[in-house]
């Protein structure tokens, strides 16, 4: 069993009958959803709220009942992956392009559990380019404003065309090298007109499940 599967399935232990569960996006939480599907087939009664169309499709394949966010008041727990996790449990997310919905759902959950293999754990955020979701209108101007914060923004492209999120926006992947103050940068980015949201998740994770020395470990905020 690989690290992603180990931590992805470990998070399922926090899911109880009757819960409303935020379902993240990515290669690690994939295993969480697969395991939840097995438990649902075995009688577990939950409702899932997906963070992306891709996750919704996977959850449907696994037989997990889904609800729209507007149908509920809050989530009991959300489980998602991360592109980087620092020692303070701050995160960079958005490599899969679902950062806006992921942040909305994480914020709505009573408990936000992050699953990450050991390669995602770092001392300081920044080596992974920070995804910033922006509206299509005026993207060049928005990119220049973002660059003024000390990065090199690059429009995300797939198959020769700009990548478009489930919300109809573009993503700038911003190379900061090192992010000294995640909370300050998060605030400054979101003050730029045209920026919808950014992939910094500061003081958001309740618990991080990862692997150290071939053993699953959990860090709590």
Angle between helices 3-10 and 29-41 (to 10 degrees): 50
Known catalytic membership, residue 102: yes
Strand order in the sheet with 91-92: 84-85, 91-92, 200-201
Residue of 93, 94, 88 lying closest to 123 (CA atoms):
88
Question: Which residues contact residue 161 at a Cβ distance below 8 angstroms, ignoring those fewer than 6 apart?
Answer: none
DSSP 122-188: -SSS-SSPEEEEE-STTHHHHHHHHHTTT-EEEE-EETTEE---TTS-EEEEEE-S--S-HHHHHHH
Catalytic residue, chosen from 102, 133, 186, 197, is: 102
Which of the 8 DSSP states describes residue 88? Answer: T
Angle between helices 53-62 and 29-41 (to 10 degrees): 30
Residue 215 DSSP SS3: strand
Q: What residues are labeled active site?
A: 102
């Amino acid at each position: 069993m690989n690290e992603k599967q180990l931590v992805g399935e470990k998070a399922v232990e926090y899911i109880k009958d009757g819960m409303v569960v935020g379902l993240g996006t990515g290669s690690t939480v994939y295993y969480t959803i697969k395991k939840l599907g097995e438990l649902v087939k075995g009688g577990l009664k939950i409702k899932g709220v997906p963070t992306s169309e891709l996750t919704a499709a996977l959850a449907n394949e696994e037989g997990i009942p889904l609800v729209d966010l507007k149908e509920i008041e809050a989530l009991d727990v959300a489980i998602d992956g991360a592109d980087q996790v620092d020692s303070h449990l701050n995160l960079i997310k958005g490599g899969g392009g679902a950062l806006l919905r992921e942040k909305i759902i994480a914020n709505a959950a009573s408990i936000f559990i992050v699953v990450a293999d050991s390669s995602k754990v770092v001392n300081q955020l920044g080596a992974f380019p920070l995804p910033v979701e922006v509206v299509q209108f005026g993207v060049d101007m928005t990119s220049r404003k973002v660059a003024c914060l000390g990065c090199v923004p690059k429009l995300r492209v797939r198959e020769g065309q700009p990548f478009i999120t489930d919300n109809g926006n573009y993503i700038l992947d911003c190379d900061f090298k090192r992010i000294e103050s995640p909370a300050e940068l998060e605030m400054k980015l979101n003050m730029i007109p045209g920026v919808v949201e950014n992939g910094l998740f500061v003081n958001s994770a309740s618990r991080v499940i990862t692997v150290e020395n071939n053993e699953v470990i959990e860090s709590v905020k």
